[in-house]
Amino acid sequence: MSRGQRDGSGRTRGTGPRSGAGGPAPDAARLAAYEVLRRVAESDAYANLVLPGLLRERGITGRDAAFATELTYGTLRLRARYDAVLSRCTRDRALSSLDPEVLELLRLGTHQILGMRVPVHAAVSETVALTREVAGPAPTGMVNGVLRTVSRTAPEAWLERLVEETDPDGTDPVARLSVTESHPEWITRALRQSLIADGTEPAGADAELADLLAADNVPAPVALVARPGLVEVADLAAECARESREPEPGRWSPYALIPGSGDPGRLGAVARAAAGVQDEGSQLVTLALAEAPLAGPAVDGGAADTAWLDLCAGPGGKAALLGALAHQRGTELLANEVAPHRAGLVRGAVAAIPAGTVEIRVGDGRELEAPGRFDRVLVDAPCTGLGALRRRPEARWRRTPADLAPLGTLQRELLAAALDATRAGGVVAYVTCSPHIAETQLVVDDTLRRRDDVEVLDAAEILRGVSRTDPLLSGPYAQLWPHRHGTDAMFLALLRRT
């Protein structure tokens, strides 16, 4: 155990640098969380990239690392809910008039009190100590007073109050859920529209929307993929059991394992890229492309399924699964990626696949000159990522509706390039990790309107065929959901060239 005394969470405190401001030293985990939040706010950093490095650098491990992680991600995710709470506790001071550092400290304290159930005395005194360290003594009284006011109302009572005050007549679920479930209004509205477009009855859409938004606020469980031919699922499971505890089989993908705890990076199979961390939704859409029925002979008159393309491959999760399958079938995969550093990540992801199967190309997928060359093509298009908000805690605050138009153009152009690169009878999988209809159905429908050489396959039916259990989807496009399937909200359309 490190130096310092235990706080109410059972962790140690006083492990940070000595305070230069006269009070007790702040807790190292809380200081790390604060610093990550400031970097996210000031320099557009990604919390999931900055935090692990910072924890490593400072030797914060075990329960302290878990505490810092939940504190950072939870505070980021639930920012709108906490700002609504705080704005009711700062008397006549608008939150916008506070120093950004002080507002961040108040959010951190509020998440400990309302979201993590850290005992109030520990949450308040530790946040005050942190305030003294990073912002000096002046705001400590205010931080202390505001957090004590927050703590006088129970979390459930706060939610009831926010519901009453944001939607008194029960007629504005988008406004209400945007605050209580902490999503920007434009995203809440878009997700409601996507649920309805996917077949949810408008009358039931608000209850389902609440479930979806709540699912976005829960950390995604880690799923592993045992890349076929590179490691057996049973061997990966045995390695997991030796490292931490018995993993669960995946719910959907025959290659998935849910390890439950432990650092997947410590597994030998992951280190040598025979296995990887991959959401089950991503595994399923990849398997669906590999199993989609082709038609007609290949263009060269040879075997009908020898050339595969991943047009947007970085960082390489799907390319590695596709490449492993390709190797088993004696097929070749061209993994294309426009960003050189992401192409480097693809190289790492496919490292365990024997040489000769995967070729990596760095370039714009729209400029790939290979008309009619491929049997199966994956377009995992750049998108807003609104289907993966569970794992990108700051993304909801960073994305704006203005992102949709340029992405929509790029998505249409990449899908057109993919179709051009596919032989007659070959199949294109158009995939996004966003359920926003501007990135999913509208892109595909637009493409179908413009071309007369494409037929739509029933992606829901094909997904059912590759899944361990029936995901109960209605086709022809397939939309997975965090609250229904426990996966990212992956969209899949399967299009066959005629």
Ligand X SMILES: C[S@@+](CC[C@H](N)C(=O)[O-])C[C@H]1O[C@@H](n2cnc3c(N)ncnc32)[C@H](O)[C@@H]1O
What residue numbers does the annotated binding site for S-adenosyl-L-methionine cover?
A: 312-318, 337, 364, 380
Q: From 103-111, 255-263, 313-321, 455-463, give the range in contact with ligand X by CB under 6 A.
A: 313-321
Member of 38, 161, 342, 483 binding ligand X (CB under 6 A): 342
> Do residues 322 and 349 touch, judged by C-beta distance below 8 A?
no
Indicate the residue among 173 and 316 with the shorter CB distance to ligand X. Answer: 316
Q: What gap in Å lies between CA 250 and CA 302, rounded to an integer?
A: 37
Residue identified by tokens 């939610």 is: 159
CA dihedral 109, 112, 113, 117 (to 10 degrees): -170
Which of 114/383 has CB closer to ligand X?
Answer: 383
Q: Which residues make up each annotated binding site?
A: 312-318, 337, 364, 380
151, 302, 364, 370 from 307: Cα distances, Å: 61, 11, 19, 11
The reply to whether 383 belongs to the active site is: no
Number of residues in contact with ligand X under rule CB under 6 A: 19
Our CB check for ligand X shows the closer of 83 and 380 to be: 380
Taking CB under 6 A as the criterion, the residue among 339, 416, 442, 448 binding ligand X is 339
227 lines the binding site for ligand X (CB under 6 A): no
Give the residue, chosen from 232, 364, 403, 458, that forms a contact with ligand X under the rule CB under 6 A. 364
What residues contact residue 158 under an 8 Å CB cut-off, 6+ apart? 85, 114
DSSP string covering 324-367: HHHHHHT-EEEEEESSHHHHHHHHHHTTTSPTTSEEEEES-GGG
Cβ 80 to ligand X, closest distance in Å?
A: 26
Is residue 314 close enough to count as binding ligand X by CB under 6 A? yes
For the window 270-309, what string marks contact with ligand X as x by the rule CB under 6 A?
------------x---------------------------
Contact of 130 with 105, CB cutoff 8 Å? yes
Nearest to 485 by CA among 285, 291, 314: 285
**Contact yes or no for 447/415 (Cβ under 8 A):** yes
Q: Is 212 within 8 Å of 191 (Cβ atoms)?
A: yes
Type of residue numbered 477: Y
408 lies in the binding site for ligand X (CB under 6 A)? no
Task: Determine, following the binding rule CB under 6 A, whether residue 380 of this chain makes contact with ligand X.
Answer: yes
> Considering only residues 323, 382, 426, 435, which one is a binding residue for ligand X as defined by CB under 6 A?
382
Q: How would you classify the pairing of strands 374-380 and 422-432?
A: parallel
Q: Does 412 bind ligand X (CB under 6 A)?
A: no
Asked if 347 is part of the footprint of ligand X (rule: CB under 6 A), the reply reads no
Query: Any contact of residue 337 with ligand X (CB under 6 A)?
Result: yes
Residue 228 lies near ligand X (rule: CB under 6 A): no
Q: Smallest Cα–Cα separation from 335: which of 293, 383, 379?
A: 379
Complex with ligand X: residue 102 or 313, whichever CB lies closer: 313
471 part of the interface to ligand X, by CB under 6 A: no
User: Contact positions toward ligand X, by CB under 6 A?
Assistant: 282, 311-318, 336-339, 342, 364-366, 380, 382
Query: Which amino acids are annotated catalytic?
Result: 433
